[in-house]
Chains A and B, each alone.
Chain A
């Protein structure tokens, strides 16, 4: 079992993740755009100031300077809210950080490392629309050769960044901040790029989730088990490049698939799963759950989820309805 089993929280996951990384790797530069405190970059800024660079409230500058930092031989880890690092500075993300490596570039193998971390993704920011980013996965997934990771908790968040600092090209990771549940057992969970993880094995409905969506799916799973609804749950932290065979094998082993994601139901995980299944053809029905062509409200996460029908009770009822 990959889960911790206990309900524990890390109040500032990225503070220790970034500090530990910088202590181990002197060539890493954690970058901020006036949001260091709000992305929980505290110890690095205070104790390792040579490894922290704040470019001010200027996200285009953040990513273009980051690309320059990489070209000078260091490893930039640009941090900001997901909305600004993707929407506001998409061209810099794509052009400056994303065109130096991979098929169709001048550096087919290898190349410089460029990392961007988007915090408060999807509906996990209380300020509606402008601070929320429910389209980021789709935007970054569309960039050729990019690596895109949507971790569920501090354990795969930490592991993903540890791998990213040695990956060529652009890596985008969705960050976690504030009281974050410890879900995966660090002693049993080993992060591998592209790998998918079965968190519950069953039959009937196959739930596929990533990031915060996996947290919500686990809550839903408990309720479904109480109600005797058989199901499985697959956690897919790597959105790109995902192991398509693992996703396909999981999908075809179930009667139907439900995707749960902290994202629009278009262009993100649900779309990815639909693409993979349709490439094979003749697959199970796929129900995509997330934001369905609407803006989310603001407020606490519990409130926003309830308004959108993404709280565990409603999700469980929807899935039980699909099963019957």
Chain B
């Protein structure tokens, strides 16, 4: 734990991020399931792991590789206050500045994500560049298990392992879902931790939705010397929102009319009340 957040406080933040995701996606649809599944990772990253800088941003660098998961970043940056919800509600609208899959230079986005499999190499180059200059910034790169089918990802892994980039942490959203169906059916990628170990990483499989486990894994990543770190998160796309699970057995993209958004928001409201009650205890 870096910023002395309590587990309960981070759980509240994660629930609030889920609420932001649903409120954004209910406007015109979007990658809602990815956003809610990654809310706990986002809460721990943005509210504990990434160190703030003096300019109101973050000293450590977060690289989003799969553009579809931008919704997670938007949910998190709504909670930090870097984006207003009025602006975020234009997500997926014509003429918006809030791209569904953003390009390099938009607040919160280091690279042009969306041509999948290119984040790991860029984050490895970034980590190498920072280390070369003697800087202690750490680099975090989120990418998905579907991207593991791209050869460029393994070129990156080989490079990061060879260069012993211990300032680099890969976060793999191992949700077993890609555009055509389950990853295990399309082109199996398991065993993922063992593959990264073979490329010179220290790796660990977690469920990706447990705050305590996430804090522990990030701690372990920072303590790992001489090797990059791969955190394989076995998330599920509907994590934390039952209405998504009911509506979306194939949850790659959520159309506006596919879900009872009010039901989801009610569910999050109940979760938040429980967590708030715990906080008062």
Name A residues whose Cβ lies closer than 8 Å to a Cβ of B: 29, 50, 53, 55-56, 58, 60-61, 64-74, 76, 91-92, 95-96, 99-100, 105-107, 111
Contact of B159 among A50, A56, A91, A106 (CB under 8 A): A56
How long is the Cα–Cα vector from A58 to B118 in the complex, in angstroms? 13
A99 CA to B106 CA in the complex, in Å? Answer: 12
Cα A283 to Cα B115 in complex, Å, equals 42
Pairs A-B, 9 closest by C-beta atoms? A68-B125, A72-B129, A106-B105, A64-B121, A65-B125, A61-B155, A68-B126, A68-B122, A58-B155
Say whether B178 faces chain A, with CB atoms less than 8 Å apart. Answer: no
If the complex has contacts A50-B132, A58-B155, A92-B152, are A71 and B118 also in contact, measured as CB distance less than 8 A?
A: no
Decide: A61 and B115 in contact? CB cutoff 8 A. no
Q: In the complex, which residue of chain B has the Cβ closest to the Cβ of A100? A: B104
Which residues of the partner chain A approach B106 to less than 8 Å between Cβ atoms? 106
Given contacts A74-B129, A99-B104, contact A60 B121 (CB under 8 A): yes
Q: A58-B159, A73-B133, A99-B103 are in contact. List 18 more A-B contacts (CB 8 A).
A: A56-B158, A60-B151, A61-B121, A64-B118, A64-B122, A64-B125, A64-B152, A64-B156, A65-B121, A70-B129, A71-B110, A71-B122, A72-B130, A73-B130, A91-B115, A96-B121, A105-B103, A106-B106
Q: Is B105 a contact of A68 with CB atoms below 8 Å?
A: no
Please state if B133 and A55 are interface contacts (CB–CB under 8 Å).
no
Which residue of B118, B135, B151, B159 contacts A95 across the interface (Cβ within 8 Å)? B118
Q: Which residues of A contact B121 (CB under 8 A)?
A: 60-61, 64-65, 67-68, 92, 96
Taken together as a complex, chains A and B put the C-alpha atoms of A72 and B124 apart, in Å, by: 10
A71 touches B129 (CB 8 A): yes
Query: By CB atoms of chain B within 10 A, which of A50, A64, A74 has the most?
Result: A64
By the criterion CB–CB under 8 Å, are B112 and A69 in contact? no
Interfacial chain B residues near A70, Cβ < 8 Å: 125, 129
Residues from chain A with Cβ under 8 Å of B155 in the complex: 55-56, 58, 60-61
Contact with A along B203-216 (1 / 0, CB 8 A): 00000000000000
Give the number of A-B contacts (CB < 8 Å): 109
Residues of B91-116 whose CB lies within 8 A of A: 103-106, 110-112, 115
Cβ–Cβ contact B158 & A71, under 8 A:
no
In the complex, B127 has a CB within 8 A of chain A: yes
Q: Taking the nearest CB of chain B, how far is it from the CB of A14, in angstroms?
A: 22
Q: Give the nearest-CB partner of A59 in chain B.
A: B155
B128 at the interface (CB under 8 A from A): yes
Query: Is B123 in the interface zone, CB < 8 Å from A?
Result: yes
Instruction: List B residues at the A interface (Cβ < 8 Å).
Output: 61, 103-106, 110-112, 115, 118, 121-130, 132-133, 135, 151-152, 155-156, 158-159, 162
In the complex, what's the smallest C-beta–C-beta distance from A72 to chain B, in angstroms? Answer: 2
Which of A29, A71, A91 gathers the greatest number of chain B CB atoms within 10 Å?
A: A71
Q: Which single member of A60, A74, A100, A111 contacts B132 (CB below 8 Å)?
A: A74
CA distance A105 to B97 in the complex (A): 11
B123: chain A residues at CB < 8 Å are: 68
- Report whether B112 and A65 are in contact in the complex, using a CB–CB cutoff of 8 Å: no
A69 touches B125 (CB 8 A): yes
The reply to whether B129 and A96 form a contact with Cβ atoms under 8 Å apart is: no
- The answer to whether A61 and B128 have CB atoms under 8 Å apart is no
A-B contact pairs, 30 of them (CB 8 A): A56-B158, A58-B158, A60-B151, A60-B152, A65-B122, A65-B124, A65-B128, A65-B156, A67-B121, A67-B122, A68-B122, A68-B124, A68-B127, A68-B128, A69-B128, A71-B61, A71-B122, A72-B128, A72-B133, A74-B129, A91-B118, A95-B112, A95-B115, A96-B122, A99-B112, A100-B112, A105-B103, A105-B104, A105-B105, A111-B105
A83 to B146: give the CA distance in the assembly, Å.
Answer: 28
Q: Chain A residues near B130 (CB, 8 Å)?
A: 72-73
Q: Which residues of A contact B128 (CB under 8 A)?
A: 53, 65, 68-69, 72
Closest A residue, CB atoms, query B102: A106
A76 to B132, CA, bound (A): 13
CA A70 to CA B112, docked complex, whole Å? 14
Q: Which of chain A's residues has its CB closest to B156's CB? A: A61
B246 to chain A, nearest CB (A): 37
Q: Which residues of chain B have C-beta atoms less than 8 A from A71's C-beta?
A: 61, 110-111, 122, 125-126, 129
User: Closest CB of chain B to A36's CB: distance in Å?
Assistant: 16
Q: How far is the CB of B221 from chain A (nearest CB, A)?
A: 19
Chain A positions within 8 Å of B158 at CB level: 56, 58, 61
For residue A72, which residues in chain B have a CB less than 8 angstroms away from its CB?
125-130, 132-133, 135
Instruction: Please indicate the chain A residues that have their CB under 8 angstroms from the CB of B112 in the complex.
Output: 95-96, 99-100
Given the complex of chains A and B, what is the CA–CA distance between A68 and B121 in angstroms? Answer: 7
Closest residue of chain B to A112 (Cβ to Cβ) is: B104
The answer on a CB contact under 8 Å between B132 and A29 is: yes
Given known A50-B132, A95-B112, A99-B112, contact A69–B118 (CB-CB < 8 A): no
Closest to A50 in B: B132
User: Given the complex, which residues of A lie within 8 Å of B118, measured CB to CB?
Assistant: 60, 64, 91-92, 95-96
Q: Which of chain B's residues have a CB closer than 8 A to the CB of A99?
A: 103-104, 112
